Chains A and B, each alone.
Chain A
Amino acid sequence: MFNKNNITLSSWIKQKGNEDQIILSSRIRLARNFKKIPFPGQSKKEQLDKVVSKMKDILLNKNLKINGENYKFNYIEIENVSPVKRNMYVEKNLSSPEFVKNGYGKILFYDQDEKISIMVNEEDHLRIQILLPGLQINKAWQIADKIDDIIEQNTEYAFSKKWGYLSACPTNIGTGLRASVMVHLPALNLSGNINNLFEVVGKLGLTVRGIYGEGSESSGNIFQISNQITLGSKEEDIIDNLASVTKQVINQEQTSRNRLFSEREVFIKNKILRSYGKLKYAYSISTNEAMELLSYVKLGMEMGIIKEIDSLLLKKLFILIRPAHLQSLIGKEINSEERDIKRAELIKNELNVKGGKI
């Protein structure tokens, strides 16, 4: 019924990481452009081709060794891939939603573990991205720095002494660095303190977004925190700032969880177990409702209320229930009413055993 051979899950989804009760993933993104070629928005087809072939030369048919680990790259051409498959890359955060829209010369490179992905000919020639499970923002930067060096040794980047790495959008110049963490904050959200937190975070040069980045809504109490500005700070300082604020966010969420369980015990236990019940017995369920219920089940598991579920199963379910993954598991495109029914079935199946089936 659900064919797991139709999907591959990134290592950030399959593996555990530090602080992963609250931090789902850490991400580094670098915006880079080649010297002398106009940015993709103003490029001609043959210029876009040039960027693609250069990147194929650099990345394909070899093992790239970065910090002692081997990376072997593969790629897809966006225009040659079905919409469902494209959206899978968005759902597992390897691509931006903008990138998978039709467009000439758009290529997505990714390694065997899907830790590194490179969007070619998005708004910039290159968007280099590292994605790791849990709180590993420093490690992600070390990998990004190295792959950036490797590319730079084989080409020349558009760079200004004054304004650093140049980008199609002036908001990204300088380091071109966007460091972010994906956080799961059910208790802060339930206690109504989340907006206060975001206000404080904003004053510290960081910004909070929904799960697919700019302009997207939050779902399942999941948010992204990232640095706001890219020019005028060193990469290491941007990362240190994010890491130290993230640690504070973890503390705040922990405190809120403890408070919920001591001050509103009946309310929270009821919420968790009702969520679990709905997930187990619903006949039809939307992505957003499922995300929300999974969020409370995850909280329940982490607070010791629900014992029979594996934490990695929940992390996988957060991704598998999304429309493109669900349809890939089934092997065909179906409408949203059918999806909601299949989604409920998938969740029911997976919650049956400790580690799940997929």
Chain B
Amino acid sequence: MLCDKCKKNEASIHITKYVNDEKSEVYLCEECAKETGHIDENDVFSFKNLIAGILNPDTKDYEFQQGEVLKCENCGLSYKEFVKEGKVGCADCYDTFEDNLLPLIKRIHGSEKHIGKAPEDMHKYLRVKEDIKQLKEEMEQVIEEENFEKAAELRDEIYALKKKIGSD
């Protein structure tokens, strides 16, 4: 559907208005919606604004300090492009722009440390769990054989492994 106002762009925003209980419907493109105040820029583009707000004031100083434009060597994204779009280009960008990202990330998330699921940990965790299982079986075996000295050794070993992966 074409935009009701400019009749040129594809309409992407549908607005329902009520005036004295009369309903009217308008279809607008993004541009016209912004122009007529139907999109609150703060609302829809809040993240872009946030990034720009936090990073833009420093952009000039930063480039000046660096003496050149900061750029990610892996993907080629420049700091300027990052500030403009609010998107990074690759995993390495997080290292390249770390100093600038850190305050931003703190402000978005109120945190700077991931504490959830982790891929490497998963493998490590599963491996250690398997080790613990085997040691436990071995311990039961030596207890049956009344080799309590060996059993105590195994118990300490299990304890250490459990501590390592934070389980009890």
A residues near B (Cβ < 8 Å) are: 33, 35-39, 41-42, 123, 145, 148-149, 152, 156-166, 168-171, 173-175, 177, 214-215, 217, 229-235, 286, 288-289, 336
Find out whether the CB atom of A39 lies under 8 angstroms from the CB atom of B89.
yes
Do A234 and B116 contact each other (CB < 8 Å), given the known contacts A158-B91, A170-B88, A170-B104?
A: yes
Bound-complex Cα distance A229 to B113 (A): 12
Find out whether the CB atom of A42 lies under 8 angstroms from the CB atom of B25.
no
B55 CB to nearest chain A CB (Å) = 11
Contact mask for chain B residues 43-57; partner A; CB cutoff 8 A; 1 contact, 0 none: 110010000000000
Which B residues between 111 and 129 are near A, CB-CB below 8 angstroms? 111-120, 122
Find out whether the CB atom of A288 lies under 8 angstroms from the CB atom of B14.
yes
B residues near A (Cβ < 8 Å) are: 1, 13-16, 23, 25, 39, 43-44, 47, 74-77, 85-91, 94, 101, 104-105, 108-120, 122
Q: Select one of B74, B109, B114, B116 contacting A38, CB under 8 A.
A: B74
A151 CB to nearest chain B CB (Å) = 10
Find out whether the CB atom of A41 lies under 8 angstroms from the CB atom of B87.
yes
Find out whether the CB atom of A166 lies under 8 angstroms from the CB atom of B119.
no
Give me 16 A-to-B residue pairs in the complex whose CB atoms sit less than 8 angstroms apart, sorted by A's number. A38-B90, A42-B89, A152-B119, A152-B122, A158-B91, A159-B118, A163-B112, A166-B91, A168-B89, A170-B86, A170-B88, A175-B116, A215-B39, A229-B111, A286-B25, A288-B16
Bound-complex Cα distance A173 to B115 (A): 12
Find out whether the CB atom of B87 lies under 8 angstroms from the CB atom of A145.
no
Do A159 and B119 contact each other (CB < 8 Å), given the known contacts A166-B94, A231-B109?
A: yes
Find out whether the CB atom of A156 lies under 8 angstroms from the CB atom of B119.
yes
Contacts of A173 in B (CB 8 A): 94, 105, 109, 114
